[in-house]
Amino acid sequence: MVEFMKKNGMKPQTRHKITFREIIPNHRLAYLQLADFIPEVAPYDVDTVVEMQETSEGVRMTLTFDAMHDEIWTERATQGWNMELDKLGEELSK
């Protein structure tokens, strides 16, 4: 990941600015995240919502987020979230 960021003119470390819009414990988390790390793209907010619903099999978590400024960055964000959610699933199954 660090090599990818360096190769694409990005800093290998970034700070994140998140503004929480809604917090309903154990049910919903909605926030805006400032995307200010993309070279030659003006900063913009990405709206993200995490919803949790109890089911007979456990808890179903759904994460949705705004499309990024283009399809490539939207796909990168999707891959990143899928990776993180897979890690979470692995930890929860231990």
Q: CA–CA separation, 82 vs 77, rounded Å?
A: 9
Does the residue 93 lie in any domain? Answer: no
Residue 9 lies in a domain: yes
pLDDT for 5 equals 74
Domain-located, residue 92: no
* Digit-coded pLDDT (tens) for 13-67: 767 899 999 999 999 999 999 998 888 899 999 999 999 999 999 889 999 999 9
Residues facing 53 on adjacent strands: 60
pLDDT band of 92, cuts 50, 70, 90: confident
pLDDT bin (cut points 50, 70, 90) of residue 1 is: low
DSSP string of the chain, one letter each residue: -HHHHHHTT--SS----EEEEEEETTTEEEEEEEE--STTS--EEEEEEEEEEEETTEEEEEEEE---SSHHHHHHHHHHHHHHHHHHHHHHH-
Q: How many structural domains are present in the chain?
A: 1
pLDDT band at 82 (very low <50, low <70, confident <90, very high): very high
For residue 39, the model assigns a pLDDT of 83
Q: CB count, 10 Å around CB of 35?
A: 20
Residue 61 is assigned to a structural domain of this protein: yes
- Assign 10 a pLDDT band (cuts: 50, 70, 90): confident
Q: Which domain holds residue 62?
A: 2-87
